[in-house]
Amino acid sequence: YTQKFEQADLKGPGMAVSQDDIAKAYDAADPQTIEALKFARDRIRSHHERQRPKDDRYTDAAGVELGSRWTAIEAVGLYVPGGTASYPSSVLM
């Protein structure tokens, strides 16, 4: 979809980032920016953990045991909007 809507080739050069590149960028980043991102990450995580569904079991009026169970899935897709604007919160969420 990125190719379709944004005409961006995600298989092109520069799309893969090494752990070394990530470490260098982190080390070069402004410490206040890093702290702000960590603060936002923690608040977002705290908020969404409260939204996490819970398993439920009960016995109905007919004596039948019913319930639902939530399980993790193996993988998900992620779309991060492109363009010229920078929205780190979109990545964090």
- 40-90 pLDDT, tens digit per residue, is 999 999 999 999 889 999 999 999 999 999 998 888 877 766 677 777 887
Prediction pTM value: 0.59
Relative to beta strand 65-68, strand 56-59 is: antiparallel
How high is the pLDDT of residue 85?
Answer: 77
Could you give the C-alpha distances from 26 to 12, 29, 44, 78, in angstroms and in order? 23, 5, 21, 22
Helix/strand/coil percent split, the chain, to 5: 45, 10, 45
Reported confidence tier of residue 28, pLDDT bands at 50, 70, 90 = very high
Residue type, 28: A
